[in-house]
Amino acid sequence: MAPPTLVALILGAGPNIGSSVASKFASAGYKIAIASRSGGQTGGNNGYLSLKADFSKPDSIPALFDAVKSEFNTAPSVVVYNAAGLTPPPDNDSVLSIPVDNFVADLNLNTVSPYVAAQHAVKGWETLPSDVKKSFIYTGNILNTLILPVPMMLTLGVGKSASAHWIGLADATYAAKGFRFFYVDERIADGKQKGIAIDGPAHADFFAQLAEHQEGVPWHATFVKDKGYVKFE
């Protein structure tokens, strides 16, 4: 009997983390679907299914899962949410000067769309063989545990914090089914934030480890390059 086709769906396929993760999972034998605002043609030089989506609009998410099922005749066992956005306040002296429409759009991008993606991931996982590991991996940062006194971080921090909560709760409540949910946060060795220096290949290596459901790694998956999971207070 042929082994099942494994598919990784990467939502937010940028040139750093997104492309590194796609390459890593492809090298591990996964079929790859990538989705980004710009989209592209199916296939291409790398053989990926390339899809177009506006992640500030949660209703764009279901069609991505339909496209994956149509292309590969199976649901993705690994779903990576790597899209994010923020809106700087027009008045730097007033963090609450961000227009409500921008606040809502960023909340959709950072929290609501990944929530919808997780819903559809679970629906797909119910159709996969029991021995296939199922993982939802969200690219987070330190903002779920640290409030930085930087006004432009408001909508990003709100979104990351909200997503961390539902991801942690989902991981706890779907544990009996073997479904894992991870909020990933790269740190430097002393536990401080990595910031804009985040490492794409390091994320790819760690995501691949998470997809194997390594023991001892919780939903709040803080990691250090070349070390893997490291628990920080």
The residues, ordered by sequence, that sit 6+ positions from 141 with a Cβ below 8 Å of its Cβ are: 156, 160, 185, 186, 193, 194, 198
Active-site annotation holder among 24, 160, 225, 227? 160
Task: Name all contacts of 99-107 with Cβ < 8 Å and 24+ positions apart.
Answer: 102/155, 103/155, 103/158, 105/56, 106/56, 106/155, 106/156, 106/158, 106/159, 107/155, 107/158, 107/159, 107/162
Strand order in the sheet with 134-139: 49-52, 31-36, 7-11, 78-81, 134-139, 179-187, 220-224, 228-229
31 is catalytic: no
Joined tokens for residue 207: 């995501």
In angstroms, how far is the first alpha carbon of the chain from the final one?
47
Report which DSSP code applies to 109.
Answer: I
Q: Which residues are identified as catalytic?
A: 160
